[in-house]
Amino acid sequence: MPVIQAENLSKVFHIPQKDPGVAGAVKALFRPRFQPKVAVDDVSFQVAEGEVVGYIGVNGAGKSTTIKMLTGILVPSGGQVRILGRDPHRERVANARDIGVVFGQRTQLWWDLALTESLGMVARIYDVPPTRYRQLLDQFAEILELKDLLHVPIRTMSLGQKMRAELAATLIHEPKIVYLDEPTIGLDLIVKERIREFIQQQNREQGTTVILTTHDLGDIETLCRRVLIIDAGKLIYDGPLSLIKERFGKFREITFDTASPVTTFTLPTGAEVVAAEERKLVLRFDRTRATASQVAASLMNQLEVVDFSLAEPDLANIIKHIYQGALREDGGRRTEDGGRKAEDGRPELQASLGR
Amino acid sequence: MALALGRTVRRYGGMASMAPKFFLAYSIWVWMEWAVQTIALIITSFFWRAVYTDQTVIAGLAQSQTLTYVLLALIFAPFVHSTGMIYNFGYLLKEGQIAVELLRPLDFQAGQYVWRTAELWVGLILQVPLFIVALFLGMQPPLDPRLWAVFLVTAFLGHAVLFCFDWMLGCLAFYVTEIWGLSVARYGFTLFASGLLVPLALMPDWLAGILNVLPFAQALYVPLSFLTGIAPLSDAPRVWLAQLAALAVLLPLSRWVFRVAVRKVTVQGG
Amino acid sequence: MPRYVSLYSLFLRQRLKILMEYRVNFFIGAVSTLIEQTAGLLTVWVVMQRIPLLNGWTYEELLLVYGLLALSKSLTYLFADNLWTVGREYIRTGGFDRFLVRPVDPLFHLLADRFDHQGLGHLIIGGILVSTASARLGITWDLPHLLYLVVAVLSGGLIFIGLNLITCVSAFWIMDSVPVTRVVFDMNEFAKYPLSMYNRGVQFVLTWLVPYGFASFYPANYLLGRDVGVLVWLGPAVAVTLLLIGYRLWLFGLRHYASTGS
Question: Each residue of A104-144: pLDDT tens digit?
Answer: 778 899 988 999 999 999 999 999 999 999 999 999 999 99
User: Is B42 in Cβ contact with C47 (below 8 Å)?
Assistant: no
Q: C-alpha dihedral over A64, A69, A74, A79, to 10 degrees?
A: 130
Of the listed ranges B5-14, B135-144, B212-221, the one predicted with least confidence: B5-14
Q: How confident is the model at residue A279 (pLDDT cuts 50, 70, 90)?
A: confident
Q: What is the spatial distance between Cα B236 and Cα A147, in angstroms, rounded to a whole number?
A: 72
With a pLDDT cut of 70, the percent of chain A lying above it is: 83
> What does residue A52 show for φ and ψ, rounded to 5 degrees?
-120, 115
Alpha helix (H) residue ranges in B63-127: 63-75, 78-81, 86-94, 98-103, 108-126
The C-alpha R_g of chain B, in whole angstroms, comes to 20
Question: Each residue of B89-115: pLDDT tens digit?
Answer: 888 887 777 777 888 878 889 988 998
Q: What is the spatial distance between Cα B93 and Cα B174, in angstroms, rounded to a whole number?
A: 8
Decide if C38 touches B, using CB distance below 8 A: yes
d(CA C192, nearest CA chain B) in Å = 10
C209: pLDDT strictly greater than 50: yes
C118: pLDDT strictly greater than 90: no
The answer for C5, left when phi > 0, alpha when psi is -120 to 50, beta otherwise, is alpha
Q: What is the mean pLDDT of chain A?
A: 82
| A305 alpha carbon, distance to own chain's centre | 41
d(CA B112, nearest CA chain C) in Å = 25
A96 closest CB neighbour out of C21, C101, C261? C101
Chain C positions touching B59 (Cβ under 8 A) are: 50
Question: Each residue of C23-45: pLDDT tens digit?
Answer: 777 887 778 878 888 888 999 99
Q: How confident is the model at residue A348 (pLDDT cuts 50, 70, 90)?
A: very low
Which residue of chain C is at minimal alpha-carbon distance from B178?
Answer: C25
Q: How confident is the model at residue B21 (pLDDT cuts 50, 70, 90)?
A: low
Q: What is the spatial distance between Cα B134 and Cα B140, in angstroms, rounded to a whole number?
A: 9
ipTM of the complex: 0.90
Q: What is the spatial distance between Cα A197 and Cα C4, in angstroms, rounded to a whole number?
A: 36
Q: How confident is the model at residue A354 (pLDDT cuts 50, 70, 90)?
A: very low
Decide if C182 touches A, using CB distance below 8 A: no
Question: Each residue of A81-96: pLDDT tens digit?
Answer: 999 999 999 999 999 9
C258 closest CB neighbour out of A89, A93, A127? A89
Q: Between C81 and B13, whose confidence is greater?
A: C81
Decide if C13 touches A, using CB distance below 8 A: no
pLDDT, position C11: 93
Taking residues C53-80, report their average pLDDT.
95
Of the listed ranges A60-69, A238-247, B148-157, C142-151, the one predicted with least confidence: A238-247
The C-alpha R_g of chain C, in whole angstroms, comes to 19
Decide if A37 touches C, using CB distance below 8 A: no
Question: Each residue of C69-108: pLDDT tens digit?
Answer: 999 999 999 999 999 999 989 998 889 999 999 999 999 9
Nearest to A233 by CA among A13, A60, A76: A60
Say if residues B192 and C38 touch (Cβ distance below 8 Å): yes
d(CA A151, nearest CA chain C) in Å = 14
Beta bridge partners of A179: A101, A211
Beta bridge partners of A308: A256
User: Is C39 in Cβ contact with B189 (below 8 Å)?
Assistant: yes
Question: Each residue of B65-78: pLDDT tens digit?
Answer: 999 999 999 999 99
User: Is A73 in Cβ contact with C14 (below 8 Å)?
Assistant: no
Q: What is the spatial distance between Cα A339 and Cα A38, in angstroms, rounded to a whole number?
A: 10
Q: What is the spatial distance between Cα C49 and Cα B205, in angstroms, rounded to a whole number?
A: 12
Mutate to test the interface with B, among C26, C46, C58, C66 (most CBs of B within 10 A): C46
- Find the helix or strand (DSSP H, E) in which A237 lies: strand A234-240
Which positions ≥6 away from A28 have C-beta within 8 Å?
A16, A17, A18, A19
C259 closest CB neighbour out of A75, A92, A117? A75
DSSP string over A81-131:
EEETTB-TTTTHHHHHHHEEEE-TT---S-TTSBHHHHHHHHHHHTT--HH
User: Is C260 in Cβ contact with A13 (below 8 Å)?
Assistant: yes
A351: pLDDT strictly greater than 50: no
pLDDT, position A315: 67
Say if residues A354 and A276 touch (Cβ distance below 8 Å): no
Q: What is the mean pLDDT of chain B?
A: 87
What are the structural domain ranges in chain B? 2-268
Chain C positions touching A94 (Cβ under 8 A) are: 103
Q: What is the spatial distance between Cα B226 and Cα B232, in angstroms, rounded to a whole number?
A: 6
Nearest to B126 by CA among B159, B160, B77: B77
pLDDT, position B183: 85
Taking residues C216-233, report their average pLDDT.
91
Q: C-alpha dihedral over C98, C103, C108, C109, to 10 degrees?
A: -30
C24 closest CB neighbour out of B54, B178, B207? B178
d(CA A336, nearest CA chain C) in Å = 25
User: Is C97 in Cβ contact with A103 (below 8 Å)?
Assistant: yes
pLDDT, position B269: 46
Nearest to A153 by CA among A103, A102, A107, A195: A107
A355: pLDDT strictly greater than 80: no
User: Is B28 in Cβ contact with C174 (below 8 Å)?
Assistant: yes
Q: How confident is the model at residue B8 (pLDDT cuts 50, 70, 90)?
A: low
Decide if C258 touches A, using CB distance below 8 A: yes
pLDDT, position A157: 92
pLDDT, position A337: 35
pLDDT, position A26: 64
pLDDT, position B6: 60
User: Is C180 in Cβ contact with B40 (below 8 Å)?
Assistant: no
Say if residues A260 and A350 touch (Cβ distance below 8 Å): no
With a pLDDT cut of 70, the percent of chain B lying above it is: 89
pLDDT, position C176: 87
pLDDT, position A338: 32
Read off the amino acid at residue A93.
V
Q: How confident is the model at residue C262 (pLDDT cuts 50, 70, 90)?
A: low
Q: What angle do CA B99, B101, B105 make, to 5 degrees?
A: 115
Read off the amino acid at residue B204.
P
C50 closest CB neighbour out of B32, B50, B59? B59
Q: How confident is the model at residue B120 (pLDDT cuts 50, 70, 90)?
A: very high
DSSP string over A210-245:
EEEE-S-HHHHHHH-SEEEEEETTEEEEEEEHHHHH
A345: pLDDT strictly greater than 50: no
B150: pLDDT strictly greater than 50: yes
Chains touching B by CB (3 or more pairs below 8 Å): C
Direct distance between the N- and C-terminal alpha carbons of chain C, in angstroms, rounded to an integer: 30
Q: How confident is the model at residue B239 (pLDDT cuts 50, 70, 90)?
A: very high
Q: What is the spatial distance between Cα B149 and Cα A121, in angstroms, rounded to a whole number?
A: 63
Q: Going from the N-terminus, what domains does chain A have, and what CATH number goes with each?
A: 51-64+85-245 (3.40.50.300), 250-312 (3.30.70)
Read off the amino acid at residue A266.
T
Q: What angle do CA A203, A206, A212 make, to 5 degrees?
A: 30
Decide if A93 touches C, using CB distance below 8 A: yes
A346: pLDDT strictly greater than 80: no
B18: pLDDT strictly greater than 60: no
Which positions ≥6 away from C129 have C-beta within 8 Å?
C41, C63, C64, C66, C67, C70
d(CA C222, nearest CA chain B) in Å = 22
Decide if C260 touches A, using CB distance below 8 A: yes
